[in-house]
Amino acid sequence: MKPLAELDHLDLDPTAKTQVAALIQSLLDQTERDAALLQSKDALIKAKDFKIEALTHEVAYYRRLRFSVKSEALSPLQRDVFEETWNTDVSAIEAELEQLQDHEPGETVVKPKRPRAGRQPLPAHLPRIEHRHEPESCACGKCGQDLVKIGEDVTEQLDVEPAKFTVHRHIRPQYACKNCETITAAPIPPAVIDGGMAAVGLLTWVMISKYQDHLPLYRLEQIAARENVILSRSTLAEWVGRVGVALQPLMDRLIWHLLQGNTLHADESVPRRRTGGETPPCSYAAQEMRVGPSESPYRRRLQTTYCCDV
């Protein structure tokens, strides 16, 4: 059917016929534009549906690797190696799925968001920095009356301040006595390393990072370099050695207190031992040391037991 051709058979004056023809032509153009728009949206929906399906299968694959039965899952050693990567990939895929489903056009069914587990409250001893967000106006946007505070919504976010280097300047004014011709100044503050540039806080950060967080010295060197602070590995190693010597009296005293008891027990987790190309399934080593008076027959008797498959 051609609407414009049918107008010639109607008994209309030329002006009305021209107006009707222009109206019909505009409607036809609008219909073509709407059809093209619907076609593009259908293609976009199909592409997003395909991507959602692919991501859903990928999430199912990672979950099957992690939570499937033992015959289909990886060995414990392999699972430990890739567990962090799995968690990261699964979280990223789920976030991408949520973004696709939230912004998806058309009438595609959107799945409800997965309820998340309850979050543990943040530690109370951490300092709080408050940011208050007030409305742009304290008057009602409809009637203009003053708003009355009835409560407040409080949400907390955990933040961290990376390694921040500061410089302590120790200024010791010198005073002279004209009569006695002497100079007086405050004594130099005591330091762990005499004449060194490392303050107590820096030495503590180096020792905790190396022995508690297991960061090698070259990584500490890189962390300091990001702040344009030059700390060579040889300097860091020298500090570690000098701090160890400074802490030797504390360690000796701790050993003395431990040796005052009758029996000393230790249960410490150890890395898996590799012997002959094979890794034995040892989980931990239990140690028992008999201590006590020098005349005791059990003094310094050491027994080590490796417990496997625990």
pLDDT, tens digit (0-9, with 9 covering 90-100), for 72-86: 445 555 555 566 566
Q: Residue 64's pLDDT is what?
A: 73
Residue 301 pLDDT level (bands cut at 50, 70, 90): very low
pLDDT in tens, 186-207: 998 888 888 889 999 999 999 9
Burial (CB count within 10 angstroms: exposed 0-12, middle 13-18, buried 19+), residue 198: buried
**pLDDT-above-70 percentage for the chain:** 67
Listed range (113-122, 236-245, 289-298) with the worst mean pLDDT = 289-298
Residue 250 pLDDT level (bands cut at 50, 70, 90): very high
pTM of the predicted model over 0.85: no
Q: Is 293's pLDDT higher than 80?
A: no
Q: Do residues 93 and 37 make contact, with C-beta atoms less than 8 angstroms apart?
A: no
Q: Give the residue-averaged pLDDT of 126-155.
A: 88
Pairwise CA distance, residues 66 & 58, whole Å: 13
Q: Is 47's pLDDT higher than 90?
A: no
The domains of the chain are located at: 3-102, 167-246, 262-310
Q: Is 220's pLDDT higher than 70?
A: yes
Listed range (109-118, 141-150, 153-162) with the worst mean pLDDT = 109-118
Q: Residue 307's pLDDT is what?
A: 47
Pairwise CA distance, residues 216 & 202, whole Å: 15
Task: Using the structure block, give the residue that is written with the tokens 């010639």.
Answer: 8
Q: Residue 268's pLDDT is what?
A: 64
Q: Regarding predicted confidence, which is higher, 269 or 221?
A: 221
Listed range (8-12, 124-128, 153-157, 184-188) with the worst mean pLDDT = 8-12
The gap from C-alpha 127 to its chain's centroid, in whole angstroms, comes to: 19
Pairwise CA distance, residues 82 & 88, whole Å: 10
Q: Regarding predicted confidence, which is higher, 273 or 60?
A: 60
Pairwise CA distance, residues 131 & 159, whole Å: 13
Q: Do residues 303 and 267 make contact, with C-beta atoms less than 8 angstroms apart?
A: no
Mean pLDDT of the chain: 76
Q: Give the residue-averaged pLDDT of 44-53.
A: 84
- Please state whether 181 falls in left (phi above 0), alpha (psi between -120 and 50) or beta: left
Q: Which amino acid is at 295?
A: E
Q: Residue 16's pLDDT is what?
A: 73
